[in-house]
Amino acid sequence: MSGQNNSQPPVAWRYSGDQMKRWRTKADVSREKLASAANYSPATIESMERGVRRPTSRVLDVADDLCGAQGMLSAAKEFLNRERFPARAQDFMEREKEATSLWTYENSLVPGLLQTRGYARALIDNRIPPLDEETVEERVTARMERQSILTARKPPVGLSFVLYEAVLRAPQVDAEQLHRLLEAAALRNVVLQVLPFERAIPAALLGSMVLLETRDHERFAFMEGQFASELSADPGVVSRVTERLSMIRTQALGPEESARFIERMVGSRE
């Protein structure tokens, strides 16, 4: 895999939506009737049937009942639940499950593995275009479940995080989120560093980066943008990301000094 941009909706979205439309048509159930029963707008139902929007558990269950599908539509929930992440991030999430080490640099947001539920909800709930409440809750829950990687794996996964100071200064970062960072930093398998404004180098301003290694010693670089993301196993890309991360880590404060930096910020947020 040299690189991948996920611009198409997941196949499970498109297939489930198409099946929902076929069952609805066969049962002579109008889109408006389904929309009313599931408490969605007809336009939202249409976007689900076209696979542009992820069919939710509620709409599948309602459609299954209205159309007499005898569980055929509800059965799609199992497959869609595997895709509770944005399409462009799904390949990375699958690799993350196999990771033995993760090395992350973030210059704008707290990494998902370190977010509180409140912080995660603030980000997901304010997405443009907006998501429906059920999808928001599913994505928040999925993000919280990912955090089991911090403590549940045996042997433990080695985790290294470098956060640019701008991440900590964002208004969404409250005292609870700062405490969460300190709790994670105290774990034996976690190294957390802060890169202060005055120590920033050009490489630190180019965006977030993740370097991941799996049990099979495969190495992947992941770079996420607003509209496209890339997961790459290309040795050249992995090498460049490794070099940038190494330079940033060298400039960042050490773990103990970083903890003190965060502790000084806690008082101003309480």
Residue-wise pLDDT for 41-100, tens only, equals 999 999 999 998 888 888 999 999 999 999 999 999 877 765 555 555 777 888 888 899
What pTM did the predictor assign?
Answer: 0.72
Question: What does the pLDDT read at residue 6?
Answer: 44
Q: What is the band of 27 on the pLDDT scale with cuts at 50, 70, 90?
A: very high
Its sign, for the CA torsion 130, 124, 84, 92, is: positive
pLDDT band at 137 (very low <50, low <70, confident <90, very high): confident
Residues 6+ apart with CB under 8 A from 245: 103, 105, 162, 209, 211
Residues contacting residue 165 through CB under 8 Å, at least 6 positions apart:
194, 195, 196, 197
Nearest 5 degrees, angle CA 120-CA 131-CA 62? 120
Distance CA 157, CA 149 (A): 7
* pLDDT band (50, 70, 90) for residue 2: very low
Q: How far apart are CA 81 and CA 64, in angstroms?
A: 17
Angle at 89 between CA 86 and CA 91, to 5 degrees: 125
Q: How confident is the model at residue 156 (pLDDT cuts 50, 70, 90)?
A: very high
Please give the average per-residue pLDDT across 92-120, as a whole number.
94
Amino acid at 37: A
- Residue pLDDT, tens place only, 184-222: 999 999 999 999 999 999 999 989 999 999 988 899 999
